Amino acid sequence: MFKRTIVGLRSTALCALVALAVVTSTAHGEVSVNIGIGIPIGPPPPPRVEVLAPAPAGYLWAPGYWAWHGDNYVWVRGRWILSRPGYVWVPDRWEQREGRWHIAPGQWQREHRRFVREERREERNERREHERHRGH
């Protein structure tokens, strides 16, 4: 009987220590664990064509996309979203990484005017280069 009481006290003490450790660790910081489970699926079907009504003032179109639901793709219709000055909407899209398809959710990103100018400049230079080679 005495031995059983000591074992019971040890178990209770151990549980109390674990609980105390959890409480104090959450007071100092947050721990986050993300586990991704990948299953091999084929590429999504091509996007559907959606007929748009006129844009409401101050809104922009977030195009539809294919979502993975259970064991197949389902179409999520596009929608009008309130625009945000200084930001651009990057739509939901599928990306292939390491031989698997992953959904990248739509998100707002800060507009980078310098990056856009440089990209346009590069496109112009490539067109000029192409036209120059075509002419010879």
Say if CB 106 and CB 89 are below 8 A apart. yes
The enclosing H or E element of 3 equals: helix 2-28
Let me know if residue 3 belongs to a domain: no
Let me know if residue 115 belongs to a domain: yes
Let me know if residue 103 belongs to a domain: yes
Where are the strands (E) in the chain, listed by range?
A: 59-62, 65-69, 72-76, 79-82, 87-90, 93-97, 100-104, 107-110
The pLDDT, as a whole number, for residue 125 is: 77
**What are the angstrom distances between the C-alpha of 9 and each of 1, 13, 20, 131?**
12, 6, 16, 85
Let me know if residue 94 belongs to a domain: yes
Let me know if residue 14 belongs to a domain: no
What's the structural domain count of the chain? 1
Average pLDDT across each block of 10 residues of the chain; the chain has 136 residues. List them in order.
Answer: 49 52 48 56 91 92 94 95 94 91 93 69 77 69
The pLDDT, as a whole number, for residue 6 is: 46
Let me know if residue 83 belongs to a domain: yes
β-pair partners for 76: 65
For residue 92, which of 116, 67, 70 has the smallest C-alpha distance?
A: 67
The pLDDT, as a whole number, for residue 124 is: 80
What range does the domain containing 115 cover? 59-135
pTM over 0.85: no
